[in-house]
Amino acid sequence: MGLLAYLKTQFVVHLLIGFVFVVSGLVINFTQLCTLALWPISKQLYRRINCRLAYSLWSQLVMLLEWWSCTECTLFTDQATVDHFGKEHAVIILNHNFEIDFLCGWTMCERFGVLGSSKVLAKRELLCVPLIGWTWYFLEIVFCKRKWEEDRDIVKEGLQCLSDYPEYMWFLLYCEGTRFTETKHRISMEVAASKGLPPLKYHLLPRTKGFTTTVQCLRGTVAAIYDVTLNFRGSKNPSLLGILYGKKYEADMCVRRFPLEDIPADENDAAQWLHKLYQEKDALQEMYKQKGVFPGEPIKPARRPWTLLNFLCWATILLSPLISFVLGVFASGSPLLILTFLGFVGAASFGVRRLIGVTEIEKGSSYGNQELKKKE
What are the boundaries of each domain within the chain? 73-238+247-299, 320-351
DSSP structure class, residue 205 = P
**Could you tell me the CA-to-CA distances from 232 to 23, 61, 97, 172, 240 in Å, in that order?**
32, 19, 11, 20, 14
**Averaged pLDDT for residues 184-194:** 93
- Which tens digits make up the pLDDT trace of 279-317? 999 999 999 999 999 999 999 999 999 999 999 999 999
Check if the beta carbon of residue 206 is closer than 8 Å to that of residue 274.
yes
Q: Reply yes or no on whether the pLDDT at 376 is more than 50.
A: no
pLDDT at 359 (0 to 100): 53
Neighbours of 175 (CB within 10 A): 24
How confident is residue 354, by pLDDT bands cut at 50, 70 and 90?
low
Q: Reply yes or no on whether the pLDDT at 362 is more than 60.
A: no
Strand partners, 124: none
Mean pLDDT of the chain: 88
Q: Reply yes or no on whether the pLDDT at 330 is more than 80.
A: no
pLDDT at 46 (0 to 100): 97
d(CA 75, CA 252): 6
How confident is residue 278, by pLDDT bands cut at 50, 70 and 90?
very high
Check if the beta carbon of residue 167 is closer than 8 Å to that of residue 47.
yes
d(CA 127, CA 143): 8
**Averaged pLDDT for residues 312-330:** 87
Q: Reply yes or no on whether the pLDDT at 237 is more than 70.
A: yes
Q: Reply yes or no on whether the pLDDT at 197 is more than 80.
A: yes
Residues of the chain with pLDDT > 90, as a percent, come to 65
Q: Reply yes or no on whether the pLDDT at 143 is more than 50.
A: yes
pLDDT at 370 (0 to 100): 52
Look at 44-48, 144-148, 193-197 and tell me which has the smallest mean pLDDT. Answer: 144-148
Angle, CA of 304, 114 and 306, to the nearest 5°: 25
Neighbours of 295 (CB within 10 A): 12
d(CA 245, CA 65): 11
d(CA 197, CA 46): 45
For helices 208-218 and 267-291, the axis angle rounded to 10 degrees is 120
Sheet containing strand 224-232, strands side by side: 142-144, 119-123, 170-173, 90-94, 224-232, 250-259, 72-77, 297-299
Residues of the chain with pLDDT > 70, as a percent, come to 91
Q: The pTM is what?
A: 0.88
pLDDT at 10 (0 to 100): 85
- Which tens digits make up the pLDDT trace of 97-126? 899 999 999 999 999 999 999 999 888 888
d(CA 84, CA 224): 9
Decide: helix, strand or coil at residue 149.
helix
* Greater model confidence, 346 or 56: 56
Q: Reply yes or no on whether the pLDDT at 271 is more than 90.
A: yes
Burial 95-119 (b: 16+ CB within 10 A, else e): bbbbbbbbbbbbbbbbbbbbbbbbb
- Which tens digits make up the pLDDT trace of 66-92? 999 999 999 999 999 999 999 999 999
State in words which class domain 73-238+247-299 has. alpha beta
What is the distance of C-alpha 91 from the center of its chain?
Answer: 14
Neighbours of 66 (CB within 10 A): 23
